[in-house]
Every structure is written in C-alpha cells, then in structure tokens.
C-alpha cells in the first residue's frame, strides 16, 4: 500500500556542491507540516558528469524518504522533471530549484494549496506586489520582458511563469504532461499556459526570493530558445485550430490570384498573349515531358544523399517527398515547403527531423552550387564573345525597354549574384569542416552562452552538421550527388530551350549559351522568398539577360519566361497532388508540423 501523499522533485544537473544541503533542508521543512512517512524527496539527476549521482545514491541508501532517479542522457530540465514525475508515488507533485532561491517557509502554502484539493496548480511569483524579491537589473529586466510577452502573446493571467517553485495534482499532470512539448526551460511556462487553457484552478501567490549564484542574460536560451517557443505555442493554441481545409484552400487560391496580379505589374498581358498564340503546343508539351524526367532524377539524388547518411529508402518514395515539398513552396509563402520534406520522411519513414533537415540542406547546397557553376561558365563564355558589355548595359536599365521589367531584372540578377556567392561560401565551409575534427559548433555557441540549454542546442547543431559532413566527406557520394545535380539542372535548362523552340526560335549555340545563363540566374533569383513562387524575379532575370543578348524581343522573352515557369510549376503541382494522394499526406498538416519542428528535440537513435 502506498502511503506517499507528496512527491518533491529536485531537478539536478552537476549540483555536487549544493544537493546534499538542499535535500536536508527539504526534509526538515516537510517534517514541520506533514506526517513523517507521507512524503518523498526525489533527486532527478539529469545525466550529471560530476559527483551528484554518487551523493544522491548515498543519500537514498541512508534515508528511505529520499530517492535517486538517474538518466544516462541529458533530458533537459523539463524532460528530467517529467521523467521523475512519471515515477513519483505521490498524489501532489512539487518541484523547486535546488539553489533554494525561494524562501522555504513558503513550501507549506505551495504543497497545501494542491494537497487540499482547492487548486489544481500552484506557483510562486516574484512579480506580485506583496512579495519581496531581490531582482538585479540583469535578471529583472529580461524576466519582466519575458513575462510581458507571455501574457500578451499567449494570453496568460499570471505575473510570473518562470519561478522555479510549483506544484500540481497528479490528475493535472496526467492531463497536461502529454500536451507540453518543450523539454527545457520553457516547460514551466507551457505547463502554466495550457493549465489556464484547460480551465484548471491555478493559484499564484507571492514568495520571498533571493538570487543565488551568478546569472546573465543568455542569448541562446533566452532569445532564441524561449522566443521561438512562445511563437510555437502561439501557433499551436491560437493559429492552428483556426486553419481548416476550407481556409487553407482559400489561402492557396488567394496566393495564386496575388501571383497573377504581380505579373500584370511588369508586362502587358495582351502583348504576351499575342506572342503565346503562335507557340507550338506540341513543343510546349515536349518541354513539360523534359521537365518531368528531372523529377525521378531528383528522387535518385535524394536517395544517394540519404544513403550516405545511412538511411536507405526507395527512390520512388523520395521522388514523391520531393514533389510534395516543392508543391508546398509554390502554394505557401516564405518557402515553407522546405520543411515539409523533413516532416514527410519522418512521418512516413521515421527519419528524424535533424537528419531530414540536414539532407535538405545538402540538397540545397548542391543545387545552388550547380546553378552557380552553370551560370559562371556561361558568363565566361559571354565575356569571351564580347557579349558581357551588353549584359552590363541591361543591368543598368539601358538596353531593355520597360522600367518595371528592367527594375525586376536588376533586382533578380543582384539577388542571384548574392545567392551564388553564398552557395560557394557554404560549400567551401562544409568541405573544410568535413576535413577537420575540430568542434567549431560548440566552441562558437559557447562564446554566447554557458547555459545547459546551450549545450542542448549545440548537440542538435552538431548532429545536423555531422550529417552534412558525412555526405561531403564521402567522395563517391559527393560525386554521385554532384552528377545528379548537374543532370537535374541541365534538364531544367533543356525545358526552357524547348519553349524557345516552341516560339519558333532556332537553337543556335549562342542562344543555347544565353538560355543556360538566363535560366541559371533566374533560378538563383528565386531562392529568396521575395515574391510568391518567385513570380517576377525569375521572369525579370530571364528577360533582362535574353532580350539584349539574342534576337528575341522583350515581349517574346517575357512570354518564353512565363511559359517556361508555368510549365515547370504545372508539372510540380500535378506531381505534388499525385504524391500527396499516394502517400496520404495533407499539405496543410505537413506545413504545421514542419513549423513545430523548428524546436527540434533529440530522438532515440539520433
């Protein structure tokens, strides 16, 4: 028979200097208001690398009221608490920080508020008028700002969400535990916010609090970690419930309408329609078939990337996953489709989010590098033939009629140049890092933060970088992926050349060279999400390059760019819809889940 009514959990990470005193003070305080055999004190030791485990084990052996719950791996503060609470025996669950910053004479009020059945959750507060709390500016200002954000964005009625002095009933924990996603410092806040959303009885009472030890604003944890978690929780509680299939369909339709309206800002629709009227339908269909061939090649390349990361999947499934993610980039703004791929391979093949995002990063780097190389080779060719001066004149807006077209093209080419340089820099950095054993990730993050959450972030990033390095360090994999990338983007250019032919233009060597350059720069320009689906940037870059360097006029160049872009988008959408039906994937759900994955948690086997 279990006579334990109250379980006190002390989250401990490398607390060898304080844990013994903390346990002793806790036991003495509990004895003043609870029967001696009605409580337990649990040291939730979270993968410590000091003497804390030995001390906790010794205390547990000496006193039956003390328990030591050990984790071999770091679970994070919230994860360690959940792990301990699941193994606790009491009906009232309590935890507080081991530094005893909160005056222990408040412990009875904390425990009895829940134990009496009057409240489901109780929490101490350092921001109520009645309390006494010594808050230095370096602690008080960030705390005030953080709690203000939580109250404003997450609509919480509480003043203090991060005070490490809380209690809740077993029933409340069993309801809230599965709904709290964070496993680190945001765990406290998320639990309190969701308790209020569940209409639980929450008591906030003032406590006397005095900071122990040194502290500082932590860039990694406080800004990146906590800020992203507020956003993730807001999305989960306030945005996601309102996204119905009907709303999603309406939003996608509106994006298409906006894209069409953007087109009319830089071209005369009637002139374009007149140019299109003479295009050969058969050759336009041929261009679509050529582009369709590139998709199985994308699947094969993605298979090679995952193979080198020790994930072995069929190219057909991976082709579908690529189709779905690229469809997401067409339908949703800000390239949200990029994260969809990670969701699809995790949901359907249990490939972890870090590995999924790493594989996507490898693919993107190879894409950008290949496009940059193709554009660079053609630029050298143009310079050798004396055509480069005409291109520079076009960039200045002197050779292409239509201010809107010139401006769009200039912006696109400048964006493309920046993206190309970034791609080359990324490849150099990745290849260099693959050839060294230096731990640059942890050293870099350590310059900004020494907090345990920074260690957690560093671990995630290290795993991500390690996956990328696995591919770049494997010579044969690097070659296969590189060859696949070259084939994919060559087919992309051949699609555009088929459209040139559909408009009646002979594919002379000079036009083919300019076509390679125009398509490459247009694709680089689309990388940044400046317009929906890259509309305007691709066409502008394509036109400003083709019009001055070939016999193709401005209206015809715009028409070719639009048809080329439309053919590629149509193939992508059809393939995406078919893949979603085949793999039973909802694009809206995939986008929601991939957004949540911005807070990547470590998983078994990672």
> Catalytic residue among 46, 160, 182, 188, which?
188
What span, in angstroms and rounded, lies between the C-alpha atoms of 163 and 172? 19
- Which structure tokens are listed for 123? 């929490």
What span, in angstroms and rounded, lies between the C-alpha atoms of 41 and 134? 28
* Ramachandran assignment for 124, one of left (phi > 0), alpha (psi -120 to 50 degrees), beta (any other): beta
HSE, CB side, 13 Å, CA atoms: give it for residue 479: 2
What span, in angstroms and rounded, lies between the C-alpha atoms of 605 and 231? 28
- Which structure tokens are listed for 249? 């369909």
Three-class SS state of 283: helix
User: Residue 49 catalytic?
Assistant: no
Pick the closest to residue 12 from 64, 65, 80 (CA basis). Answer: 80
Q: Which residues of 526-543 are buried (b: 16+ CB within 10 A; e: fewer)?
A: bbbbebbbbbbbbbbbbb
> Which residues, other chains included, contact 573 with Cβ-Cβ below 8 Å and sequence gap of 6+?
327, 330
Regarding beta strands 165-169 and 92-96, do their DSSP bridges make them parallel or antiparallel, or are they unpaired?
A: antiparallel
What span, in angstroms and rounded, lies between the C-alpha atoms of 82 and 405? 58
Q: What is the largest CA-CA distance in the chain?
A: 95
Q: Which residues pair with 37 in a beta bridge?
A: none
Q: What are phi and psi of 67, to 5 degrees?
A: -125, 145
What span, in angstroms and rounded, lies between the C-alpha atoms of 212 and 197? 33
Instruction: Report, as residue numbers or ranges, the catalytic residues.
Output: 188
């Amino acid at each position: 028979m279990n006579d334990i009514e109250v379980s006190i959990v002390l989250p401990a990470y490398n607390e060898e200097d304080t844990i013994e005193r903390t346990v002793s003070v806790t036991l003495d305080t509990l004895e003043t208001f609870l029967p001696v055999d009605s409580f337990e004190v649990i040291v939730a030791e979270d993968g410590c690398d000091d003497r804390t485990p030995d001390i906790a084990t010794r205390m547990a052996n000496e006193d039956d009221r003390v328990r030591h719950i050990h984790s071999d791996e770091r679970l994070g503060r919230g994860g360690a608490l959940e792990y301990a609470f699941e193994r606790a025996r009491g009906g009232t669950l309590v935890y507080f920080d081991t530094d005893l910053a909160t005056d222990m004479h408040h412990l009875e009020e904390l425990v009895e508020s829940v134990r009496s059945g009057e409240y489901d959750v109780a929490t101490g507060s350092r921001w109520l008028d009645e309390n006494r709390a010594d808050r230095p500016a370096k602690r008080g200002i960030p705390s005030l700002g953080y709690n203000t954000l939580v109250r404003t964005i997450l609509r919480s009625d509480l003043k203090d969400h991060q005070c490490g002095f809380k209690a809740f009933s077993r029933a409340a924990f069993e309801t809230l535990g599965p709904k709290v996603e964070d496993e680190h410092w945001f765990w406290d806040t998320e639990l309190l916010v969701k308790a209020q959303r569940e209409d639980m009885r929450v008591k906030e009472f003032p406590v006397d609090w005095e900071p122990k030890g040194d502290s500082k604003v932590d860039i990694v944890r406080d800004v990146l970690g906590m800020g992203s978690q507020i956003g993730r929780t807001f999305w989960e509680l306030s945005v996601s419930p309102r996204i119905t299939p009907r709303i999603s369909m309406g939003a996608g339709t509106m994006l298409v309408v906006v894209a069409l309206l953007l087109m009319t800002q830089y071209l005369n629709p009637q002139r374009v329609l007149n140019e299109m009227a003479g295009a050969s339908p058969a050759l336009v269909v041929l261009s679509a078939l050529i582009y369709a061939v590139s998709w199985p090649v994308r699947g094969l390349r993605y298979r090679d990337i995952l193979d080198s990361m020790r994930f072995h999947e069929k190219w057909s499934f991976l082709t579908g996953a690529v189709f779905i993610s690229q469809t997401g980039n067409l339908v949703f703004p800000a390239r949200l489709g990029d994260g969809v791929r990670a969701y699809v391979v995790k949901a359907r093949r249990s490939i972890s989010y870090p590995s999924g995002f790493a594989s996507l990063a490898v693919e993107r780097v190879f894409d950008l590098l290949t496009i940059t190389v193709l554009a660079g080779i053609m630029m050298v060719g143009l310079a050798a033939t004396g055509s480069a001066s005409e291109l520079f004149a076009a960039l200045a807006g002197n050779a292409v009629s239509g201010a809107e077209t010139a401006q769009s093209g200039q912006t696109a080419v400048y964006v493309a140049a920046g993206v190309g340089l970034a791609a080359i820099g990324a490849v150099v950095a990745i290849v260099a890092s693959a050839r060294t054993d230096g731990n640059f990730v942890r050293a870099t993050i350590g310059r900004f933060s020494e907090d345990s959450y920074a260690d957690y972030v560093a671990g995630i990033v290290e795993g991500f970088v390690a996956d990328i390095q696995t591919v770049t360090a494997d010579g044969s994999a690097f070659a296969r992926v590189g060859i696949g990338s070259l084939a994919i983007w060559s087919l992309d250019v051949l699609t555009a050349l088929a459209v040139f032919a559909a408009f009646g233009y002979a594919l002379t060597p000079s036009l083919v060279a300019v076509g390679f350059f125009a398509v490459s720069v247009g694709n680089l320009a689309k990388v940044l999400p400046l317009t929906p689906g890259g509309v305007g940037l691709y066409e502008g870059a394509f036109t400003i390059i083709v019009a001055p360097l070939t016999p193709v006029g401005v209206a015809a160049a715009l028409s070719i760019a639009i048809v080329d872009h439309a053919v590629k988008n149509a193939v992508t959408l059809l393939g995406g819809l078919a893949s979603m039906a085949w793999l039973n994937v909802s694009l809206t759900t995939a986008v929601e889940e991939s957004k949540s994955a911005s807070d990547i948690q470590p998983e078994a086997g990672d």
